Amino acid sequence: MFLKKLVPIIICTFYSFPSFAQLPQDSRRAGGIAVIPLTANTTQVFYEQNPVLITQEQGQRYAVFGIPLSTPLGTVTLTTNANPIQIDIKPYAYAEQRLTVKNQDYVNPNQEQLDRYAREAKEQNDIYSSFNPSTWTTFPNFIRPTAGKFSNSFGRKRFFNGEERAPHSGLDIPAPVGQKVIAPADGIVVQTGNYFFNGNTVLVDHGQGLISMFCHLSKINVEKGQHIRQGEQLGLVGNTGRVTGAHLHWGMSLNNARVDPQLFIK
């Protein structure tokens, strides 16, 4: 009786943070992804003047922003057609890796090789900074491009024969030469070629600056300009380019930032 008077009616509302069915995982660190709900009047988002991917899920629109690996801790500001958006970059401890590469050319390339690499890097950078319309309205669900264990290798600081080089910008999946590599989502093959460090490589554009890369292939089965469907074979695992063994190097780029491919896999 007495208690009844005192205890107010409690309405329990269980609010859970939306678990995305298709959007990548939100992980606000260098090399991570920020999945940002947008207000109704925010229709365009930019990072350093470049457009950021926008999509929707369950009636809510989101900007999906790739955080470059070189981003320092602190705040990153995205501009929009409405109010700017601020993102807090959290610390994240990437591992270190010390590798011994027998072919010294891959550690200290000569001038000719450096020139070749500069040409290739520009070619790839032009692709990464492109922004083509997407054919999807909801974010594509990604599947694994090849069978095998994901080594936790994205973002690793690397030392080749003791000399520090750029952090690892993709995910390595050790697999035997000749194993099938498939497209993890629908897209357009925007480049194929043999590159100095990356070996035989395929780049697939999934729209709105979302681009995947597959390196060290022993065989390429697709051509530039070709539409590829999720699950279709694009090549075979190999050991071409700078490698210490056969594996697939799978890279993902968003708004020209290389991000952790694991964030796309459910």
> DSSP characters for 146-211?
SSSPPPS-TT-EEEETTEEEPPP-SEEEE--TT-EEE-SS-EEEEEEEEETTTEEEEEEE-STTEE
At closest approach, how far in Å is the CB of 165 from Zn ion?
Answer: 12
Contacting residue, 172, 186, 205, 260, with Zn ion by CB under 5 A:
172
In the bound state with Zn ion, the residue whose beta carbon lies nearer, of 28 and 249, is: 249
Residue 260 near Zn ion by CB under 5 A:
no
Residue 206 near Zn ion by CB under 5 A:
no
Q: Which among 226, 232, 32 has a CA at the least distance from the CA of 145?
A: 232
Phi, psi of 101 (to 5 degrees): -110, 125
In the bound state with Zn ion, the residue whose beta carbon lies nearer, of 172 and 260, is: 172
Q: Using the rule CB under 5 A, give the single segment among 5-13, 55-63, 133-141, 244-252 that binds Zn ion.
A: 244-252
Please give the order of strands across the beta sheet that includes 157-160: 96-99, 157-160, 163-165
In the bound state with Zn ion, the residue whose beta carbon lies nearer, of 24 and 251, is: 251
Buried b (16+ CB within 10 A) or exposed e, 16-47: eeeebeebbebbbbbbbbbbbebeeebeebbb
Q: Using the rule CB under 5 A, give the single segment among 44-52, 78-86, 181-189, 243-251 that binds Zn ion.
A: 243-251
In the bound state with Zn ion, the residue whose beta carbon lies nearer, of 44 and 100, is: 100
Where are the alpha helices (H) located in the chain, listed in sequence order? 2-6, 111-128
In the bound state with Zn ion, the residue whose beta carbon lies nearer, of 170 and 207, is: 170
At closest approach, how far in Å is the CB of 223 from Zn ion?
Answer: 24
Binding map of Zn ion across residues 151-170, x = CB under 5 A, - = no contact: -------------------x
Contacting residue, 28, 206, 242, 249, with Zn ion by CB under 5 A:
249
Residue 190, phi-psi category: left (phi > 0), alpha (psi -120 to 50), beta (remainder)? alpha
Residues of this chain that interact with Zn ion (CB under 5 A) are: 170, 172, 249
